Amino acid sequence: MTAPALKAVGLTKRYGRHHALSDCTLDIPAGRVVGLVGPNGAGKTTLLQLAAGMLAPTAGTIEALGGHPASGADQLAKVGFVAQDTPTYANLSIADHLRFGAHTNPGWSQATAEERIAQLGLDPRQKAGKLSGGQRSQLALTMAIAKRPELLILDEPVASLDPMARREFMKALMGFTADDKASVILSSHLVSDLERVCDYLVVLVASRVQIAGDVDDLLAGHFRLTGPRRELAELPGGVDVIEESHTERQSTLIVRADVPLDGGSFTVEKLTLEDLVLAYLSKAMPARPAWESTR
């Protein structure tokens, strides 16, 4: 049994009195492509930086691939991390970056790195400072992939990219997950970025994990119920209401159900991943604008 990609118990990070991450417990199996979704400021970056060992927790524990994050060269070699702003050295060339990677990583694959740079149509002599945002992200991803980590962590990798660069980036990422049997965790505030690549989802809102699980399981276990208002009040056991909205005569519920739902007098619909995430977002954000709340 391989160690989980990420295991957190009661993980908390505070800055003064501000909670960036509260009591987060996760157990993400290895070999998955994990999407971490949540609005801006939910604590996604904090969680990923804790996993990469860039930050130390205030309370609780976190392990990546069974090891303490950034605890030593071995652990660092196993985990690749691309920070949100995809930093590169502006005055150094692409070739210098690759040489840096080759000098500092035991598992480095120079062939992989050079091949990717060639595929991107980049000149290795070009200074990183002269690259576009998309190209810099690609360089940072190239370095992380050529390091050949067992776990690759990407913090909002496509947030600053245009749609074209976004697609290229995701294509490159999928190529990586297909080739190496590695685990990937990537964050975004848009479900649509993640939908096509992820098979595991973590929803983080207001510093807390709302739900985490296999995408298929999540989709199989959540439903939208629509029906006459009164009858929906009598729901069978094992059904949790995530979100509800009502009109005079009709109610719509989004529920999580571990048991098969009997249709009865209301209709049962499957949810899209986006609907599912939105339901958890609105559940966890009490300070919704008035016009958004139903009635």
191 binds other proteins (CB under 8 A): no
Pick from 8, 11, 143, 273 the residue near other proteins by CB under 8 A. 143
CA angle 9, 87, 62 (to 5 degrees): 10
**At its nearest, how many Å lie between other proteins and the CB of residue 56?**
8
Task: Kindly write out the interface string for residues 45-64 of this chain, putting x where it contacts other proteins by CB under 8 A and - elsewhere.
Answer: ----x--x-xxx--------
Q: Which is nearer to other proteins, 79 or 170 (CB)?
A: 79
- Binding segment for other proteins (CB under 8 A), chosen from 17-25, 77-85, 200-208, 256-264, is 77-85
83 binds other proteins (CB under 8 A): yes
d(CA 156, CA 109): 25
101 binds other proteins (CB under 8 A): yes
Pick from 31, 58, 60, 85 the residue near other proteins by CB under 8 A. 85
Query: 256 and 221 in contact (C-beta within 8 Å)?
Result: yes
What ranges make up the beta strands (E) of the chain?
Answer: 6-15, 18-28, 33-37, 59-64, 79-82, 151-154, 183-188, 200-205, 208-214, 222-228, 239-246, 250-257, 267-270
95 binds other proteins (CB under 8 A): no
122 binds other proteins (CB under 8 A): no
Q: Which is nearer to other proteins, 70 or 239 (CB)?
A: 70
* Integer CA distances (angstroms), 69 to 8, 50, 85, 133, 229, in order: 11, 7, 21, 28, 50
127 binds other proteins (CB under 8 A): no
80 binds other proteins (CB under 8 A): yes
What number of helices (H) and strands (E) belong to the chain? 9, 13
Pick from 14, 58, 100, 114 the residue near other proteins by CB under 8 A. 100
Let me know how long the chain is. Answer: 295
Torsion-angle region of residue 23: left (phi > 0), alpha (psi -120 to 50) or beta?
left
d(CA 97, CA 12): 34
How many positions of this chain bind other proteins (CB under 8 A)? 35
Pick from 106, 121, 260, 263 the residue near other proteins by CB under 8 A. 106
Query: 104 and 147 in contact (C-beta within 8 Å)?
Result: no
210 binds other proteins (CB under 8 A): no
d(CA 177, CA 174): 5
Pick from 10, 39, 41, 107 the residue near other proteins by CB under 8 A. 107
Token code pair at residue 194: 């993640």
243 binds other proteins (CB under 8 A): no
- Binding segment for other proteins (CB under 8 A), chosen from 142-150, 167-175, 191-199, 233-241, is 142-150
What does the CA dihedral 173, 178, 179, 183 come to, rounded to 10 degrees?
A: 70
Residues found near other proteins in the complex (CB under 8 A): 49, 52, 54-56, 70, 72-74, 76-77, 79-83, 85, 87-90, 92, 96, 99-101, 103-107, 140, 143-144, 147
